[in-house]
Amino acid sequence: MELICFRVFNIMNTNKFTYISCYLVGRIFFLTFLIIPNLAFAECDHGFHLEGVISVKDCDPAVDECINGIQAIYEYGKKLDDGGDKILTVSIMSSPWRFYGPDMRIIRPKELAENLKPALDDKVKSILVYASWTENIPHGRTTTLARELSESLDGFPVKGIDGFLWAKDNGDYYSTKQAFTVGGGFPYRHRSGDDLMIAIPYGSYIHAQDFFVKERDAKALRYAAVGWDVFILCPDIALQTFEAAAALSDSISAYNAAVIRLERGQKGDFDAASKLLNQASDLGDDKAKALLLEITSKK
């Protein structure tokens, strides 16, 4: 039994972008950024011990069969083992801190749990979440996403992924904890048949972040923010990027930024989150309206 929460959409033309091939997971390793200059290393403290380098092969459409990176996530997600009758499998984008839905809106564990409950019939004995870092406790948290989801399901057994999730063309999967990932410029094109690192298509959006700012492309900035979270493992920079997209009237980014601030709980975060949720509500975002009502009723 399987639930796939990825989405397919088109990525823009490549001819306006210069490829930069190296990422340093958890630290910043880019030449320039317009939104967030002079990034501090401390802002990417995820708390994990990462080591080693993994190379991702670039796809040359002149000689290879290439797949749009986000399309590849969906296609490979469909091939992952569905677990049979006894295991409910869920394919969903994630960072160590949070889940993301099909439109890259943050889904809180209790919300995901409500979506899963109808599928938990008497035959299902456990849940397997195909989502990166769901078996790891990051900096700033006291438990894993898999455990949070289990608790939201009254202790129903949930197993996650230890590290970055990779999917194979034959439906198998594995995970890694590398410090560097080399390759995969923007937009990421996946070579058919190669193993797919699930986080890298969204990570590739970071390459063109300055272009998205210039073009006022709020949706693409939202995807770049997700890349900071799921690929670079840098939630503070993800927050700043979501807020940059929110400033361009992207209600989902405003909602996401509010959720991150509420989870972080630092001085001023509640008031900032309330403003973001009010902004998203004014744009007609029903989930923002519901969350705003939830937090104000508890205050």
Q: What is the pLDDT of residues 44-103, one digit of tens each?
A: 789 898 999 999 888 988 999 999 999 999 999 989 988 888 999 999 999 999 999 999
Q: What per-residue confidence (pLDDT) applies to 202? A: 95
Residue 87, in any domain of the structure: yes
Q: What per-residue confidence (pLDDT) applies to 183? A: 78
pLDDT per residue as tens digits for the range 200-222: 999 999 989 999 999 999 999 99
Q: When comparing pLDDT for 31 and 193, which is higher?
A: 193
Residue 256, in any domain of the structure: no
Which range has the worst mean pLDDT, 13-22, 74-83, 184-193? 13-22
Residue 32, in any domain of the structure: no
Residue 277, in any domain of the structure: no
Strand-strand pairing, 164-167 and 196-197: antiparallel
Counting Cα atoms < 13 Å in the Cβ hemisphere of 245 gives 30
pLDDT above 80 for 128: yes
Residue 247, in any domain of the structure: no
Q: What per-residue confidence (pLDDT) applies to 82? A: 84
Q: What is the mean pLDDT of the chain?
A: 86
Q: When comparing pLDDT for 255 and 9, which is higher?
A: 255
Phi then psi for 164, rounded to 5 degrees?
A: -70, 130
Give the structural domain span for 69.
2-10+42-227
Spatial distance between the Cα atoms of 291 and 214, rounded to a whole number of angstroms: 31
Q: What per-residue confidence (pLDDT) applies to 8? A: 32
What value does the mean pLDDT take over residues 242-261?
98
Q: When comparing pLDDT for 16 and 2, which is higher?
A: 2
How many independent structural domains does the chain possess?
Answer: 1
Query: In sequence order, which residues have a C-beta less than 8 Å from that of residue 129 and are 6 or more positions away?
Result: 89, 90, 92, 94, 145, 146, 149, 158, 159, 160, 161
Residue 145, in any domain of the structure: yes
Question: How does residue 299 score in pLDDT terms, banded at 50, 70 and 90?
Answer: low
Residue 264, in any domain of the structure: no
Q: What per-residue confidence (pLDDT) applies to 287? A: 97
Q: What per-residue confidence (pLDDT) applies to 81? A: 86
Q: What per-residue confidence (pLDDT) applies to 6? A: 43
Residue 278, in any domain of the structure: no
